[in-house]
Structure 1
Amino acid sequence: MKPRNRRLAFVAAGLLVLGAATWLVLNALQSNLVFFFTPTQVVAHAAPRNDAFRLGGLVEEGSVRKAADGLALSFVVTDRAQRVPVHYRGLLPDLFREGKGVVVAGRLQADGSFLATQVLAKHDENYMPPEAAAALEQARPAAREAPQ
């Protein structure tokens, strides 16, 4: 093989390896991305039906129902305009409370409820995830205009 052809083969092999590495990195990033949606967006079918995502808002007052085993529970996440029922099995964070901010990660079920795999509660009295705070602010005018 001539030196020129050998060099061309090394360059082609290097580009192939670089392309494969790039594809692997982008594929890994895409599979680990978890997007944030509000209850209003979920009800409007803007959230993915088959992929995992995060749902954020407030835990509706009086909506928490615990099973007898103490690990399974259901509650409603609201942005004051729409509501999404959530089912979760596991231990809750200590700061999980009704009327407080929450972000849950999981998937939407066929019946419109959300099956959570993780529950994240706010850290202190003033903290709320920026996306959840913005969603609540956007939902306030819609909640005032909605017929009761």
Structure 2
Amino acid sequence: MKGLKKKRRIQVILLAFVALAFASGLTGYALRDGINFFRSPSQVMSDPPAPGEVFRLGGLVEAGSLIRGEGEVVRFVVTDTAVSVPVVYSGILPDLFDEGQGMVGTGVYINGTFEASEILAKHDETYMPKEVIDALKEQGVYEAPEGS
């Protein structure tokens, strides 16, 4: 009788482990397209993304690079002060988007241009996305805002 209980307990534990592994696999499969990795302009140029790969690009909007086209098309250059990447975006930019400010865009890199589908900008005068700060610190050009 004790041997049967022990065997049943082992079967239940193995079944629970298989169910957990299956659920983890399904979760990973479902999220595979929803994960966008952050890259700085230096990382994009040194190790270009695969064609069609969606990722996030962040840095500073280069001064003098903002060009508003016809309709909602906007072109600008994102830099980490070491390397610059041209960006094209079709849509309405956030109100606080400006030259010399931090931004993060989601999109794909096609023929040397980052084609953004979404642009995020700082939300107050001192905010900059953590990924952008980290990339600028790696380049040795980050200056903390006054009063922080």
User: Do they superpose with TM above 0.5?
Assistant: yes
Q: CA deviation at 1:28?
A: 1.7
**3-state DSSP of counterpart to 2:117:** strand
- Aligned identity (percent) is 42
Task: Specify every segment of 5 or more residues in structure 1 that has no aligned partner in the other structure, as ranges.
Answer: 1-7, 142-148
In 2 relative to 1, CA 48–133 (structure 1 residues): closer, same or farther, beyond 3 Å? farther
- Equivalent position of 1:65 in the other structure: 67
- Count of aligned pairs between the two proteins: 138
Q: Residues 91 and 16 (structure 1 numbering): CA distance in 2 closer, same or farther, change over 3 Å?
A: same
Structure 1 CA distance for aligned equivalents of residues 90 and 70 of structure 2: 12
Does structure 2 conserve the Cα–Cα contact (< 8 Å) formed by 1:57 and 1:102?
Answer: yes
CA drift of 1:17 comes to 5.0
Structure 2 counterparts to residues 25-64 of structure 1, below 5 A: 25-45=27-47, 47-64=49-66
Aligned-residue offset at 1:10: 8.6
Matched residue type, 1:37 = R
Secondary structure in 2 aligned to 1:31? Answer: coil
Segment drifting more, 9-18 vs 44-53: 9-18
Alignment partners' CA distance in 1, 2:60 and 2:14: 54
> Partner residue of 1:122?
122
1:12-31 superposed matches below 5 A:
18-31=20-33
TM-score normalised by length of structure 2:
0.79
Question: In the TM superposition, what is the alpha-carbon distance from 1:97 to its structure 2 partner?
Answer: 0.3
Q: CA deviation at 1:99?
A: 0.6
The one-letter code of the counterpart of 1:135 is A
The two structures have a TM-score, normalised by structure 1, of 0.79
- Code of the residue aligned with 1:87 in structure 2: it is V
Structure 2 unaligned runs (5+)?
1-9, 142-148
Decide whether the 8 Å contact of 1:87 with 1:114 is kept in 2: yes
